[in-house]
Chain A
Amino acid sequence: MSEHLLEVSDLRVTMQRRGVPITPVDGVSLTLDRGEILGIAGESGSGKTLTLRAILGLLPRGGVAEGDLRFASDGGRPAPYVPTDVHGHGISIVFQEPMTALNPTMRVGDLIAEGPRIHQGMNKADARARAIELMRLVGIPTPERRARMWPHQLSGGLRQRVMVATALSTEPKLVLCDEPTTALDVSVQDQILGLLQDLRMRFDMAIIFVSHDIAVLGELCDRLAIMYAGQIVEIGPTDDVISRPNHPYTAALMASVPSFQGTSEELQGIPGHPPDPAAFASGCRFAPRCAFAREDCKEASYELTPTSDDRATSCIHPEVLAQP
């Protein structure tokens, strides 16, 4: 088996809410290979964004991450790293809102050139040339002219391309994407997804893509992790997870997605709402909403158990989903 690029084990994020400690991310473990696209799906509040931010040490104030993070920064074996040290040196991030994430007081070209100047010690002229080259790479028309523009002068799609260019400016091995297409129209979203896939091919870049949109994840990702209440409940190759879920939560989630083919079937939905981190159920956290919950689910301790070479589930009764 090849060496992983990133290894996260037992990641825990603790935060204070009005003096009470809560653990919105509770024991996330995952690995990522070079050039792989991993999707993380989950509802709002499932901890997917915090997981992503913990990898880069970008937690909100008061957030503390514990756990073992290893990253192969120089092409060798994954080694422990300090999250803030990999900024500009191997890992970068693309945020959801290109309007708020781009500094409005800097011209687009300077924004993109900032990374190479700070992290790679490039001089001003070289960094500017690099910025224009990157803008061309991400498909921004007339980059020389646009490099002198301010973020507010660009459309949403172009701003997101600028953000991707910024993320690429330091030649990362891993790009973290936090719902980068949620605020965009389908046509622009499609272009950005195509761009990400194209960049992965060309630079053997790995991507972790966080989204609540299963249709988008299904299109883009090699592997898919499903998060619920701060834990990964299922992980495996995207097509398998979508078409043959091994966790009742995954199954319920898939039954909620309206199909493009259009069927007259009722959408299923999931009764109740996602639990608050202050009140996670003991045992299986999905059990209170699960149609298949049994007595022993209430005592089941969390463990991601492999069901085959490349799949794992935290459900202790995955056989309930077996098709007759």
Chain B
Amino acid sequence: MTALLEVQGLTVNFRIGSAMAARLRGQPPPDLKAVDNVSFEVERSESVGIVGESGCGKSTIAKAIVGLVPISAGSIELDGIPLTEKRDQATTRRIQMVFQDPGSSLNPSLTVERTLAELLRVHKIVPKDQVPERCGELMDLVELPRSLLRAYPKSLSGGQRQRVAIARALALDPEILIADEAVAALDVSVQAPILNLFNSLRRDLGLTLLFISHDLAVVRHVCDRVVVVYLGTAMEDGPTEQIFNDPRHPYTRALMAAAPKFGVKKEPGKSALTGEPPSALDLPSGCRFRTRCPLAQDICAETEPDLVESETDAEHLVACHFGWTEAPA
């Protein structure tokens, strides 16, 4: 089975500072590698989580996939067709995104109905006379009362707004839905039904979900597979259960140890993860995690480990020299 979405060696550079000044100094123009050689595949109807600390590039990966930022190197293929930043309407439709803050991602001057109807008309999803009916169906899909179609975003609660944002993404019948921290701004009582909604949309519509979050408990609840990202690069990639029960990368282990766990007694501040990630402008040599890694050896400073699969399980990949062996004591 071929993957629906295939990301190969994705690299996104941001030009920072003045290229002119750098040239005058005789240096190459300064680039920040926000995403550095990331590869992963997403199969149809699969739900993949991308986790990592802020600034690790997880949102940039999402933006590159929907075409909001240009790709510097590597490729993104949808059903074997390479995607570039410029896309035609038909391709745009297939990948849709839900953002973190529905307060600022919805147009405040449009009612919910106009927000949805505009998309349906522009993309000619349904004949004109069926637009109002389709708007109603979309509201049913995200479990909102149809009466809210006439409401403006400002009169909706945070949870309702996020549902409208999801309805807007679903209006185009996408195959892939990318949720970028879509529940981070919500209270738990509101977050819970939205997570359930994502699960039911997958089940009922066969939607493929790319779920970007810093909240490990949320990811565990929604995702089949998890990609752990650190400073722009994938550190570990595997089935959710395995990542949570048997994390192989020291960074994944440290992240798990640091997360507060509901229902488990643990002392805070005992995680191995001390300090903060180094600057993306000044990456350590070799493995970029070595400066915070409890297992770091000489080899870690010399060569950057590749993402390698386990001997027993081709689904589980780790970018660590000691991922599948024990580190020398």
Cβ contacts under 8 Å, A255 to chain B = 192
B159 within 8 A of A: yes
Q: Which of A4-46 contact B (CB under 8 A)?
A: 43-44
In whole Å, how far is B28's beta carbon from the nearest beta carbon of chain A?
Answer: 25
Please tell me which one of the listed residues A155, A195, A273 contacts residue B276 in the complex, with CB atoms under 8 A apart. A155
Contacts of B190-210 to chain A: CB distance below 8 A: 190-193, 195-196, 199
CB–CB B221/A258 < 8 A: yes
Contact partner of A194 among B160, B199, B269, CB < 8 A? B269
Interface 1/0 per residue, B168-211 and A, CB below 8 Å: 00000000000000000001111111011001000000000000
The stretch that binds A, out of B7-15, B60-68, B113-121, B255-263, is B255-263
Number of interface residues of A (CB under 8 A): 47
Known A187-B255, A212-B187, A267-B221; judge A273-B269 contact (CB<8 A). Answer: no
Residue of chain A at shortest CB distance from B54: A185
Contact for B192 among A44, A141, A267, CB less than 8 A: A267
A194 to B269, CA, bound (A): 4
Name the residue on A nearest B189 (C-beta).
Answer: A270
Candidates B53, B188, B240, B241; contact of A187 at CB < 8 Å: B53
- What are 14 A-B pairs at a CB distance below 8 A? A44-B158, A141-B275, A186-B53, A186-B216, A187-B254, A187-B271, A190-B268, A193-B268, A256-B191, A257-B217, A260-B217, A260-B259, A260-B263, A270-B192
The 0/1 profile, CB within 8 Å of B marked 1, for residues 152-196 of chain A is 000111100000000000000000000000000111111101110
| Interface residue? A252 (CB, 8 A) | yes
Are B241 and A262 in contact, CB atoms less than 8 angstroms apart?
yes
Besides A219-B266, A268-B192, 4 other A-B contacts (C-beta < 8 A): A193-B268, A197-B267, A267-B221, A274-B189
Does the CB pair A253–B269 fall under 8 Å?
no
Contact of B269 with A197 in the complex, beta carbons under 8 Å: yes
Q: Does B244 interact with chain A (Cβ within 8 Å)?
A: yes
Listed residue (A43, A268, A269) with the most chain B CB atoms within 10 angstroms of its CB? A269
How many interface contacts (CB-CB < 8 Å) are there between A and B? 146
CB distance from B76 to the nearest CB of A (A): 27
Tell me which of A219, A239, A266 contacts B260 (CB under 8 A). A219
Residues in A neighbouring B265, C-beta threshold 8 A? 219, 239
Interface residues as binary, B128-150 with A (CB distance below 8 Å gives 1, 0 otherwise): 00000000000000000000000
Q: Which of A157, A213, A215, A253 has the most CB of B within 10 A?
A: A215
Partner of B214, one of A186, A212, A261, A274: A186
In the complex, what residues of B have CB within 8 A of residue A257's CB?
A: 188, 192, 217, 262
Residues of B within 8 A of A194 (CB): 267-270
* B264 adjacent to chain A (CB < 8 Å): yes
Complex CA–CA separation, A193 to B269 (angstroms)? 6
Tell me, rounded to whole Å, the shortest Cβ–Cβ distance linking B220 to chain A: 4
Which of A216, A218, A262 touches B244 (beta carbons < 8 Å)?
A262
B258 touches A212 (CB 8 A): no
Whole-angstrom distance between the Cβ of B241 and the nearest chain A Cβ:
7
Instruction: Let me know if A197 and B191 touch, CB within 8 A.
Output: no
CB of B271 within 8 A of CB of A190, answer: yes
The reply on A307 being an interface residue by CB < 8 A is: no
Contact A220 B192 (CB under 8 A): no
Chain B residues within 8 Å of A198, by CB: 269
Please tell me if A134 contacts chain B, counting CB pairs below 8 Å: no
Is B273 in contact with chain A by the CB < 8 A criterion?
yes
B218 interface residue, CB < 8 Å from A? yes
Residues of A that sit less than 8 Å from B by CB: 43-44, 141, 155-158, 185-191, 193-195, 197-198, 212-216, 218-220, 239, 242-243, 252-253, 255-262, 266-270, 273-274
C-alpha spacing A273/B188, complex, angstroms: 11
Any A CB within 8 A of the CB of B274: yes
A215-B271 contact, Cβ under 8 Å, with A157-B276, A273-B157: no
B238-293 residues at the A interface, CB under 8 angstroms: 240-241, 244, 254-255, 257-271, 273-276
- Within the complex, the shortest CB–CB distance from A146 to chain B, in Å, comes to 13
Q: Could you say which of A195, A212, A243 contacts B269, with CB atoms under 8 Å apart?
A: A195
A220/B268 in contact, CB under 8 A: yes
Q: Roughly how many angstroms separate A162 CA and B5 CA in the complex, as a whole number?
A: 44
Task: Considering the complex, give the chain B residue whose CB is closest to the CB of A41.
Answer: B188
A189 near B260 (CB under 8 angstroms)? yes
Query: Considering the chains assembled together, what is the distance between the CA atoms of A226 and B266 in angstroms?
Result: 21
Residues of A within 8 A of B199 (CB): 266
A162 to B267, CA, bound (A): 23
Query: When the two chains form their complex, are residues B268 and A197 in contact, meaning their CB atoms are under 8 A apart?
Result: yes
Q: With contacts A190-B268, A267-B221 known, is A259 near B273, CB below 8 A?
A: no
Nearest CB on B from A28, distance (A): 20
Q: Would you call B240 and A262 a contact (CB within 8 A)?
A: yes
Give the distance in Å from the alpha carbon of A253 to the alpha carbon of B190 in the complex.
Answer: 10
Checking A216, A218, A259, A269 against B190 with a beta-carbon cut-off of 8 angstroms, the contacting residue is A269
Give the docked Cα–Cα distance between A296 and B218 (Å). Answer: 37
Contact A191 B244 (CB under 8 A): no
Please name the 3 residue pairs, one residue from A and one from B, whose CB atoms are nearest each other, closest first.
A194-B269, A193-B268, A267-B192
Closest to B51 in A: A186
Tell me if A252 and B189 are in contact (CB < 8 A).
yes
Most chain A CB within 10 A, of B157, B189, B240, is at B189
Interface centre among A141, A218, A239 (most CB of B within 10 A): A218
